[in-house]
């Protein structure tokens, strides 16, 4: 059991809300968060991930009327990993609650995470007990976790979602690592073993559409697989070697008159395909790891109520509002 004084309920909480085209969700989510957590020492950071639908205007209105509300707005859409990373970097309270803008995770479930954090954890991840998303999404997530955890042996908290409570210094450390493959879920277990998962309720989306498509999710998954495991490239290399041996055998068999020309051509094409696949995985692996260089930039900020770092701002167009020194 952690010291009660360290409980997020006592020390204060920064709520980070990534938003991409969520204009209709800003007010309702703000009201729900206040109704549930309004008694805490609260900071709310909305991260506008380059929305084009009035999301930023809705956030500005709330920020003008409530000094607990801050925001960061990106120059364009950089994806949810970048959006929450920016919020994590500038959180001022000792704990961060990450919650989506669409209210799929009820704010009341934050208490379940808080209660678990009080047992000495640095990070607590919500797991959807009754996920309210289309079947294809659920299957995709199951496949992702199976490949990542079981086949590639990447340590990812089982069933973990973005609805989570994390110590701010841990979250900031992860963002400041500037990993070539920023993947929060897989990085937490590398920095601490004091993490856990707890079941939480989940609701269907009632306003707006899901912003994460199949293309984005699969690209993000491949980044994780090749960035956090060398198994895909090793398996592809072994595959190339084996098909090379097979091609050699077939050539010998054809020279001995045992198989015809078509079989040889088919085998050579297969070999070519395997070689290209290996090559693409290897190149991806190298690009992702970037020769071990830190990723130069995950996002550009165009506007913020927070005193953001110069190197996070796009200086040409930013309007630094500098609420607090």
43 near Mg ion (CB under 5 A): no
Shortest distance, CB of residue 32 to Mg ion, whole angstroms? 14
Chain residues 21-50 in contact with ligand UDP, contact rule CB under 6 A = 22, 49
Residues in the chain: 325
Asked if residues 17 and 44 have their Cβ atoms less than 8 Å apart, the reply is: yes
Residue from the set 103, 104, 278, 298 that interacts with ligand UDP by CB under 6 A: 104
Residue (19 or 123) nearer to ligand UDP, CB:
19
CA distance 15 to 100: 10
20 binds, among ligand UDP, Mg ion, none (CB under 5 to 8 A by kind): ligand UDP
- Write the DSSP symbol of residue 96: E
211 binds, among ligand UDP, Mg ion, none (CB under 5 to 8 A by kind): ligand UDP
Span from 116-124, 206-214, 224-232, 235-243 in contact with ligand UDP (CB under 6 A): 206-214
CA distance 112 to 99: 13
- Residue 16 to residues 19, 81, 147, 287: CA-CA distances in angstroms? 10, 12, 29, 30
Residue (20 or 232) nearer to ligand UDP, CB:
20
> Which of 169, 171, 185, 182 has the alpha carbon at shortest distance from 296?
182
Span from 75-83, 101-109, 268-276, 291-299 in contact with Mg ion (CB under 5 A): 101-109
87 near ligand UDP (CB under 6 A): no
Residue (22 or 223) nearer to ligand UDP, CB:
22
Chain residues 131-190 in contact with ligand UDP, contact rule CB under 6 A = none
* DSSP tally for the chain: helices H, then strands E: 11, 9
CA distance 46 to 30: 10
> Which of 186, 204, 203 has the alpha carbon at shortest distance from 195?
186
Q: From the CA atom positions of the chain, what is the Rg in Å?
A: 24
Which three-class secondary structure state does DSSP give residue 41?
coil
Residue from the set 14, 20, 37, 200 that interacts with ligand UDP by CB under 6 A: 20
CA distance 230 to 211: 30
Residue from the set 102, 109, 122, 303 that interacts with Mg ion by CB under 5 A: 102
Residue (51 or 243) nearer to ligand UDP, CB:
51
210 near ligand UDP (CB under 6 A): yes
Q: What angle do CA 201, 22, 301 make, to 5 degrees?
A: 115
What is the binding site for ligand UDP (CB under 6 A)? 18-20, 22, 49, 77, 79-80, 83, 100-102, 104, 210-212
């Amino acid at each position: 059991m952690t010291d009660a004084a360290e409980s997020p309920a006592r020390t204060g909480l920064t709520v980070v809300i990534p938003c991409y085209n969520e204009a209709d969700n800003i007010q309702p989510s703000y009201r729900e968060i206040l109704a549930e957590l309004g008694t805490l020492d609260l900071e709310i950071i909305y991260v506008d991930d380059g929305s084009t639908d009035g999301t930023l205007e809705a956030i500005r209105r709330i920020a003008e009327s409530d000094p607990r509300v801050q925001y960061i707005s990106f120059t364009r859409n950089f994806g949810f990993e970048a959006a929450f990373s920016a919020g994590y970097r500038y959180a001022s309270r000792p704990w961060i609650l990450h919650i989506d803008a669409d209210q799929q995770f009820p704010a009341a479930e934050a208490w379940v995470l808080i209660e678990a954090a009080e047992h000495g954890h640095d990070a607590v991840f919500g797991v959807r007990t009754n996920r309210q998303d289309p079947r294809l999404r659920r299957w995709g997530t199951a496949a992702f976790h199976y490949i990542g955890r079981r086949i590639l042996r990447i340590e990812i908290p089982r069933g973990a979602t973005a609805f989570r409570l994390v110590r701010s210094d841990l979250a900031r450390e992860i963002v400041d690592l500037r990993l070539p493959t920023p993947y929060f879920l897989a990085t937490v277990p590398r920095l601490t073993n004091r993490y856990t998962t707890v079941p939480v309720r989940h609701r269907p989306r009632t306003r707006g559409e899901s912003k994460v498509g199949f293309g984005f999710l699969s690209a993000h998954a491949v980044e994780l697989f090749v960035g956090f495991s060398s198994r895909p490239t090793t398996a592809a290399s072994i595959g190339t070697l084996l098909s090379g041996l097979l091609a050699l055998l077939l050539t010998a068999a054809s020279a001995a008159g045992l198989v015809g020309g078509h079989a040889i051509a088919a085998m050579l094409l297969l070999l070519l395909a395997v070689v290209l696949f290996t090559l693409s995985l290897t190149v991806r692996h190298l690009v992702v790891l970037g020769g071990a260089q830190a990723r130069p930039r995950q996002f550009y900020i165009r506007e913020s109520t927070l005193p953001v770092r110069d190197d996070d701002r796009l200086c040409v167009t930013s309007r630094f509002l500098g609420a607090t020194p």
